[in-house]
């Protein structure tokens, strides 16, 4: 079942405002209110080196005083250095290094390493990584950084950490609409899945901490393990762990080895906003990935859409979700959904739930131990912009990605195998339109 993988990731994401009607297998939520409208779609964040953000178009989200969408994107593309707090451990020097594809924020083909081991009770344990000739160690996270600003800080995975996986960077385009989905909508989708699949499919929701609202939780929806429920939390975590910049929500660096600047390193600019605020504002302001308008009306694409539902892929790759109304307060009271994001119909082709489809990476991150072998359903909007699929990017065709689906998706895989060559071609044409 092309559920979790024929992905997109990302980077990682880890998507669509495929913004059209009649998409297969509607979600389990109630019908959209009469005021609901399609979310604006488009790849409208071109990466420009001389004037970052100057050609970009937002979804109309209101900006804080003295801020602009162009400035938000420029911050997302701003490169860090040793003199601004880069590292000591990092995977990239800029957010857009990982979240880049068809423009800034899009799905990329970048992966990171996650690792750990099991204790005697079979529970996942984060790795212990010794650095600086064994004088210092890194604990408390599954991430293994690829880069360091000095040789002493470089991480090397010891043999004792025998669980390891590649994790693709997810797409962030349209994630403002994903954040605006009401918790109950995701819970309702999960409740319907066993009924739709004779008990085979059962998505799991996890409650995760909202960093900007201490003590508050929300249904997770960002990251391969649904480890974040808000875009600001995601931004703060990524800024620290992927770039090495400590900030007000993640105020202490991973290590002091070769550290160049005092914590927290993320500073407010002349608008009064910090880097993580600009990142969140940029992501919330992006349009959803669009359908390929050349392909979408073709008979074979429409036939493939029906087959997508027929083999039950759409139970998890949900083709239609409506966001909560404007004015709804979320994220522990820290964010109010604006008109630009409220009551919008989106087509992410994901349920944003955790499932075991036999490709799980063994990592626990934010959820309970039963999520070891579960991953978030890959959102398929923007699928055509990628050449490699699944959470680890190890599938190079739609067919190979589908055939990797087992576990909860085994029935869909079996149904796919029964399709004629012509039907498979139609299914692939549909996927190519996303």
Averaged pLDDT, 14-41: 55
Which pLDDT band, with edges at 50, 70 and 90, does 24 fall under?
very low
Model confidence at 25, pLDDT cuts 50, 70, 90, reads very low
**pLDDT, mean of residues 224-247:** 98
End-to-end distance of the chain based on CA atoms, in angstroms? 16
Instruction: Please tell me the predicted confidence (pLDDT) of residue 143.
Output: 98
pLDDT at 107: 83
Mean pLDDT of 19-39: 56
Dihedral sign from CA coordinates of 279, 281, 282, 284: positive
Mean pLDDT, residues 251-264 taken together: 97
**What distance in Å separates the CA atoms of residue 410 and residue 200, rounded to the nearest whole number?**
9
Task: Share the mean pLDDT of the chain.
Answer: 93
At 95 the pLDDT is 97
CA distance 263 to 35: 46
**pLDDT digits 0-9 by tens, 151-169:** 999 999 999 999 999 999 9
Q: How far is the C-alpha of 399 from the C-alpha of 419, rounded, in Å?
A: 12
**What tens digit of pLDDT does each residue of 279-335 get?**
999 999 999 999 999 999 999 999 999 999 999 999 999 999 999 999 999 999 999
Q: Which residues pair with 423 in a beta bridge?
A: none
What pLDDT, on the 0 to 100 scale, is given for residue 32?
Answer: 54
* Count of other CB atoms within 10 angstroms of residue 254: 24
- For the CA atoms of 52, 57, 59, 64, the dihedral, rounded to the nearest 10 degrees, stands at 40
Which residues touch 191 (CB under 8 Å, ≥6 apart)? 28
Q: Is 418 exposed, middle or buried (0-12, 13-18, 19+ CB in 10 A)?
A: exposed
Integer Cα distance of 434 and 263 in angstroms = 43
Residue with tokens 């605020």, as numbered in its chain: 277
Given pLDDT bands bounded at 50, 70 and 90, which one contains residue 108?
confident
**b/e burial code for range 48-85 (CB count within 10 A of at least 16 → b):** beeebbeebebbebebeeebbbbbbbbbbbbebebebb
Quickly state the pLDDT bin for 5 (edges 50, 70, 90).
very low
Render pLDDT for 54-79 as a digit per residue (tens, 0 to 9).
Answer: 999 999 999 999 999 999 999 999 99
Backbone angles phi, psi at 304, to 5 degrees: -65, -35
pLDDT band, residue 33 (cuts 50/70/90):
low
Asked if pLDDT for residue 150 goes beyond 80, the answer is: yes
What pLDDT, in 10s, does the model give residues 352-402?
999 999 999 999 999 999 999 999 999 999 999 999 999 999 999 999 999
How would residue 18 be classed by pLDDT, with cut points 50, 70 and 90? Answer: very low
- Mean pLDDT confidence for 99-103: 94
The pLDDT confidence band at residue 211, using thresholds 50, 70 and 90, is: very high
Q: What is the pLDDT of residue 79?
A: 97
Give the pLDDT band of residue 194 (cuts 50, 70, 90).
very high
**Could you count the other beta carbons within 10 Å of the beta carbon of residue 43?**
18
Q: What is the mean pLDDT of residues 236-261?
A: 98
- Cα 182 to Cα 24, 219, 232, 340: the distances in Å are 21, 9, 17, 15
């Amino acid at each position: 079942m092309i559920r979790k993988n024929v992905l997109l990731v990302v980077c990682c994401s880890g998507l669509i405002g495929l913004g059209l009607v009649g998409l297969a297998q509607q979600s389990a939520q109630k019908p959209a209110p009469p005021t609901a409208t399609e979310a604006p779609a488009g790849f409208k964040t071109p990466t420009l080196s001389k004037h970052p953000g100057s050609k970009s178009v937002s979804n109309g989200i209101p900006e804080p005083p003295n801020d602009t969408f162009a400035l938000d994107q420029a911050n997302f593309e701003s490169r860090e250095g040793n003199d601004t707090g880069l590292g000591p451990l990092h995977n990239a020097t800029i957010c857009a290094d990982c979240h880049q594809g068809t423009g800034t924020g899009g799905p990329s083909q970048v992966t990171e390493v996650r690792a750990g081991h099991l204790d005697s009770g079979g529970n996942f344990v984060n790795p212990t990584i010794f650095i600086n000739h064994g004088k210092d160690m890194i604990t408390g996270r599954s991430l293994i950084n690829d880069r360091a600003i000095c040789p002493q800080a470089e991480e090397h995975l010891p043999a004792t950490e025998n669980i390891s996986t590649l994790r693709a960077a997810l797409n962030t385009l349209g994630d403002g609409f994903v954040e605006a989905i009401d918790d109950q909508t995701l819970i309702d989708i999960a409740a319907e899945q066993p009924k739709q699949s004779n008990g085979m499919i059962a998505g799991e929701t996890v409650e995760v901490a909202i960093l900007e609202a201490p003590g508050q939780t929300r249904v997770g929806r960002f990251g391969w393990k649904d480890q974040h429920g808000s875009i600001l939390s995601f931004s703060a975590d990524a800024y620290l762990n992927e770039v090495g910049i400590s900030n007000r929500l993640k105020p202490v660096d991973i290590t002091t080895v070769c550290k160049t600047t005092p914590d927290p390193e993320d500073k407010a600019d002349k608008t009064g906003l910090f880097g993580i605020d600009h990142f969140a504002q940029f992501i919330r302001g992006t349009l959803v990935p669009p359908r390929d308008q050349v392909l979408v009306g073709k008979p074979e694409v429409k036939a493939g859409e029906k087959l997508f539902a027929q083999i039950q892929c759409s139970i998890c790759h949900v083709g239609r979700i409506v966001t909560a109304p404007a004015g709804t307060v979320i994220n522990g009271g820290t964010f109010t959904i604006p008109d630009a994001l409220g009551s919008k119909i989106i087509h992410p082709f994901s349920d944003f739930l955790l499932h075991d489809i036999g490709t799980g990476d063994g990592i626990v991150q934010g959820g309970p131990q039963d999520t070891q072998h579960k991953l978030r359903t890959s959102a398929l909007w923007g699928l055509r912009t990628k050449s490699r699929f699944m959470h680890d990017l190890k599938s190079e065709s739609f067919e190979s990605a589908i055939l990797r689906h087992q576990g909860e998706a085994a029935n869909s895989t079996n149904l796919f195998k029964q399709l004629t060559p012509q039907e498979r071609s139609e299914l692939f044409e549909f996927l190519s339109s996303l």
